[in-house]
Chain A
């Protein structure tokens, strides 16, 4: 039996050998524990460097945007849904992309692992089925993998790629097991004052590096509203209104488009849970429009269509 990584490498190698694609977009081993690097293989030999594990937290669909040539891309459920979104929004041409579908193991949250081992130097984390082996200079501990999954992966609704040219490995369990509706909008039950307090507490440490925005495959605007300078819509300071404006507006721009892939939270260097805003919007879109983004190429994204019988039109 071959492993998923061997299968990915074999498929990628064949695509490059046959010149079906110019490049295969995947991941390679990170240089430090608990990280993986997005990787671009151009030659059959380079496919030996491809990997696939729980630390592959970047959303690769992000790299398809404005990319030339014909590319193959490794995609689990959420990434495949973002590719669908990009095709629907005319950012990616379906014929130029070859999707290597995979099942998501449920990505890991290095922040949770670091917090559990606070003050200790982690030198290696090895995934072994349902457990993680965490190694340091003078310790070695086996912990349950489940405990350290990313928040969004617990409540994932589509772990298998939904659209693909080739599926690598076995189709696996489709959901993360958690109830998305129970956790999607934890602030809903609070009164407006408490809600604002929670919001401030969550976002106050933002350093405006824009890693969340830049890691997001929805954020492809040529000029983001925070970068507009003539006129400048949003201040550049660390003052609360400037920080909050950025996060609130960005979240709204994701309504009806966000697949809850979690790349924003994985990218954030200070550990902000921006899904507090986007998962609530995702739930609203599901409740009000009976729509989940990126499930197929045919459905119309609710925020991009005009209906003459829209109930809000007098």
Chain B
């Protein structure tokens, strides 16, 4: 794995070269928050932010996505005409994506690209056409707990390149072949810079002081965790809004709707949320998750019990802390998981 060096003053040239091929996006400051925005030039990039407000999952799984258009004209001899949506017309590059958010995409790959038969072509197209240049965390937030959910501030999984900010210059580590190619014209990093990056990794990991314990959640039967008494208290303050699910980089539930006007129509996929009663409401009127308690329990059970069972140990959480930061009633995912794990079961 080659480590290269890029002086920040040369960022403009580097970005300009990349722009000849890619549309580039990065978290940029807007009213005190960092939002994913299109980058015009290298000097727009900032390196001293915590994380973007919304996660970059929307680049691959947009909140609203048209899947196809159709026309249903009773006089048309060919019957109903369906027209597929075109894929991305230009490759994209996400600059300064945080390691937790890149890791989240690899978790979602296991859902959307499970096998050939259930392959989500919309997700796959965007994943294949997007390069990820990560930025390691130097100053994790008090809500971060990535190190306890198979991730970390310098985690490389899912990234093409990982950058470490060394002040006036960046150390860039090529991780995938695609990533190595992007860096081939840059200077080799010296041992001092490599050492500085390694030291920074250690320090960043050490500065993450909160975490979740999952050993007993893993070893217990699903129903034991499901029936724990703690669920009777956890849900009380929840207002069943969708904030946690929409901010989560790994939540991926959706609702598909056909919108029609006359003979024309489109099929749209929208983010949905397991916090809503409507999400599981059956046509018959029955609702298997009819109470707030059912819905709150579902979200945590799904991420920390069902997903690890079904996805070869992958947890549906990367420890980014967004849900805890944004929850209007301060439901803290760490508290919930730790009480799932701690509670004594007869």
Which residue numbers of A lie inside 8 Å of B, CB to CB?
30-33, 35-40, 58, 62-63, 111, 114-115, 118-119, 121, 123, 137, 207-211, 213-215, 227, 229, 235-239, 266-267, 269-271
Contacts and interface: CB of A to CB of B under 8 A. Distances in A.
Given A37-B331, A237-B64, A32 B142 contact: yes
A137 B236 CA distance: 33
B242 A236 contact: no
A35 B328 CA distance: 8
Point out which of B50, B237, B273 has the most chain A C-beta atoms below 10 A from its C-beta.
Answer: B237
B106 interface: no
Given A37-B237, A227-B276, A207 B63 contact: yes
B41 interface: no
A63 to B, nearest CB: 8
Interface of B: 29, 31-33, 48-50, 53-54, 63-64, 139, 141-143, 233, 236-237, 239-243, 245-247, 255, 257, 259, 268, 270, 273, 276-278, 281, 324-332, 334-335
* Binding site secondary structure of chain B: loop
Given A119-B49, A236-B270, A237-B64, A210 B278 contact: no
B330 A32 contact: yes
B211 to A, nearest CB: 13
A215 B241 contact: yes
A269 B328 contact: yes
Contacts of B240: 214
Contact of B63 (A137, A215, A238): A238
Contacts of B237: 37-40, 58, 63
A118 B27 CA distance: 14
A220 B139 CA distance: 42
Contact of A114 (B32, B143, B255, B277): B32
Contacts, number: 108
B32 A115 contact: yes
B217 to A, nearest CB: 19
Nearest to A269: B326
* Binding site secondary structure of chain A: loop
A58 B243 contact: no
A237 to B, nearest CB: 4
A31 B257 CA distance: 38
A238 B64 contact: yes
A119 B29 CA distance: 9
Given A38-B329, A121-B141, A267 B236 contact: no
Contacts of A270: 53
A269 B243 contact: yes
B239 A37 contact: no
A32 B278 contact: no
Given A115-B31, A209-B246, A209-B273, A267 B328 contact: yes
B239 A214 contact: yes
Given A32-B325, A269-B328, A123 B142 contact: yes
B259 A209 contact: no
B108 to A, nearest CB: 18
